[in-house]
Amino acid sequence: MRKYSIFEILFKKMKLAIVGVTGVVGREMLEVLSERKFPYEELYLVASEKSCGKLIFFEGNSYEIISLKNLMEKKIDLAFFSAGAEASKIWAPRLAEKGAKVIDNSSYWRMSTKHKLIVPQINGRSLSDNDMIIANPNCSTIQLVMALAPIHKKFIVKRVVVSTYQAVSGSGKEAIEQLENEKNNINTKMAYPHKIFQNIIPQCDDFTENNYTKEEMKLTNETKKILDQNIDVVATAVRIPVTRGHSESVNITFENEFDLDQIRCALDQMDGVAVFDMPENSKYPMPINVSKNDEVFVGRIRRDFTQKKTLNMWIVSDNLRKGAATNTVEIGEYLIKYNLI
C-alpha cells in the first residue's frame, strides 16, 4: 500500500462511499461528515435497488443514489457500511479486494478473530495497513467501553453489571415510526412485539439459548474483545420510548481500591468523555440533553456501599452519533491521520 508524505496526508482527498445512506445511521453519517469537514473529493451514496436513481442534496451538491453493483465499477479509497449484516458479508470483502478500506457498522465482522473491533480512543493503535475491513462496535458497547477504559487502566475492572435503556432509533426507521404513530394513535407496522409508547420492553433483539438477548451478549463479548478478556460482563437490555440516546446503569467491581476523585479525574482526562455529575442540583446526563452530541456523558458517580471496591455510575450517549456514525467517521479520520489509507 502506498505511503503518503506529510503534505499529502494533510491535503489528501478521499474517494468515499456511504453504503446504506437512506437509513437512520447513513443519514447521520452525512451530518457528521459535514460537521467534521471530512476530506473527500468524490462521494458515492449507495442504497438498495429501490432507492437507486433518487437524489440526495448534500453540501450544495446533488448526488444520485447508486447500487452496490454500480459501486463495484468505481475506484474508491474508503467505504462506510451501514446496510445490515448480509450486505456487509457479501460486499465488504469484494470492495476490500479492490483496495478499498471498509468500516462496517453491522454485527457481521465484530467477533471475527481476523478483524479488529475499533473505538479509536481506546484501541486505534492496533490498526495497520493490512486491516481492510474494520468493525464498528455495537452502539451500547461503545459508550460503555469509553467510560470503562480510563478507569480500567488505573484500577483494573473485574466485573461489570450493566442495564441499558435504549432508544428506538437503535432499531431503525420502522421503530421510530412505530413510536410516533402510537403517540398519535395511528395504526402502524410493528417493529417490536409490543407497543412501545408509554411502555418499556425488556428485550433488545432476539433471545439466545442462554435466555440473554443478542444485544446483551454483544455487550459481554464486545467489551471483552475491546478492553480485556478477563472482565466479566453481564447485561440486561431494555427498549424505552425515547427516539435517540441510550442510557446505561453500570455497577463496576475493581481489583484495586479507588477514590471517587481519582475516578472523576480519569474520566475527565479521557478524550470523548464528559463528566456531568452534580446530583445536588439535579444535574446528570439524560437522553434529551445529549442528542446530536459526539461525547459520552457520565454522571451519578458513587460508591456501592454494599460491595467493596465497587462503583455505580450512569452513562448516556447519542446512539446515532458516538454509538454509530461518529465512531465510524473517527476511524476514517484515524486511518488518514496515521497514513493507513
Q: Which residues are catalytic?
A: 139, 246
Q: How far apart are CA 113 and CA 204, in angstroms?
A: 25
Q: How far apart are CA 253 and CA 241, in angstroms?
A: 30
Sign of the C-alpha dihedral, residues 42, 48, 52, 54? negative
**Those residues with Cβ within 8 angstroms of residue 37's Cβ, 6 or more apart along the chain or in another chain:** none
What would the grid cell of residue 214 be?
443478542
Q: What is the four-CA torsion angle of 51, 292, 121, 154, rounded to 10 degrees?
A: -140
Sign of the C-alpha dihedral, residues 74, 80, 81, 82? negative
**Those residues with Cβ within 8 angstroms of residue 204's Cβ, 6 or more apart along the chain or in another chain:** 164, 166, 170, 213, 215, 216, 237, 238, 239
DSSP state of 169: G
* AA letter at 201: I
Give start and end residues of each alpha helix (H) in the chain. 6-11, 24-36, 68-71, 85-97, 120-123, 139-155, 173-183, 214-226, 260-268, 287-290, 326-337
